Amino acid sequence: MKALRTDGTAGLFVDEIAEPTPPPGHVKVRVLRAGICGTDLHIHKWDSWAAANVKPGITVGHEFTGEIVELGEGVKGLEVGNLMSAEGHIVCGQCRNCRAGRRHLCIQTSNLGVGQDGGFAEHVVVPAENVWVHQGKSLSNTTDDELDVFGIYDPLGNAVHTALKFPLVGEDVVITGAGPIGLMAAAVVRMVGARHILLTDIAEPRLELARSMGFTAVNPRETSIRDVQSEFAMREGFDVALEMSGSPTALPELVRNMNAGGRIALLGLPASEISIDWGLVVGRMLTIQGIYGREMFETWYAMTQLIASGLDVTPVISHRFDFDDWQEAFDTASSGAASKVILRFAR
């Protein structure tokens, strides 16, 4: 089968490898769709993060959906033909957090497409406990657009986990970073019932996409968060902030523009240390909460119900490519002009 792999140097390559056989407790999946993530771009470049975290010689990719085609010994509750997405964090099951039901905080987490073979291949093997079945869905009753969305349930889960960390009904919300996860989070925030929603980004294509989805979006280098508060006729600061960019300037700016008692959820990973005014954090009793991955599997239930209730994240998908055109897909994803890029493997 074809698989997109890394050998520990810059540049990915397609290799012909043997189809995997599912060991006990695992399933074999025929991949249908996969999303390109920023992590995949780091691996493609083989930057310092990739060199420190990625196992050379593996198949990359952790955002995907597919059809179960084979069950390993002992697998129960799943069937051949199930349409599924995969939780990409594989946990130990034995550490304190795992045993307490907080599996997303497992200290021995291994990641599909980072520490072991992932989903940029015609087939992939995953633990049965990491499978999320799309109930009532099969290839015969699922549209291409639905498959595309199923292929990005992993980042959608990040967006939902972050957006729902704090109460939102009637609140004023600012989101720094209008990439795919930031835009999906904004859609969740709007659906749940926030009052004012502001997105910021320095990339004009992302701002244009956010505006096309009906959001107020500004470049913070040109328009300050405080200026937009005046436009919204807000008398106090923002109640909730979602930091999705990892920009070293984003968090300090949020701290300066939060209402007393405001809450900030951080998903973006900064590349350098950040200095903030802790006097403001203390004096305004701000809450700063780090977010990692998805709660397993509470977030999956939440995002599935949001989709069933009408949440539409298809505008976030800007480009679709056949798997054979993966290099063009990666070039597009790296260009700054794209939002979420999808690889289509099969139907």
Rg (CA), the chain: 20
DSSP SS3 for 294: coil
Amino acid identity of residue 49, one-letter, is W
Q: Choosing from 6, 39, 65, 162, which is the catalytic residue?
A: 39
Residue by residue, DSSP assigns 2-36 as: EEEE--SSSS-EEEE-PPP---TTEEEEEEEEEEE
CB atoms within 10 A of CB 322: 12
d(CA 29, CA 14): 19
Beta bridge partners, 200, equal 176, 218
Q: What are phi and psi of 222, to 5 degrees?
A: -115, -35
Residue 42 among the catalytic residues = yes
Residue 39 among the catalytic residues = yes
Amino acid identity of residue 212, one-letter, is S
Is the torsion defined by CA of 42, 318, 164, 278 positive or negative? positive
CA-based nearest residue to 152, from 109, 119, 200:
119
Residues 6+ apart with CB under 8 A from 229: 237, 238, 257
Q: Choosing from 42, 216, 319, 332, which is the catalytic residue?
A: 42
- Which helix (H) or strand (E) is 144 found in, with range? helix 144-150
DSSP SS3 for 312: coil
- Annotated active-site positions, please? 39, 42
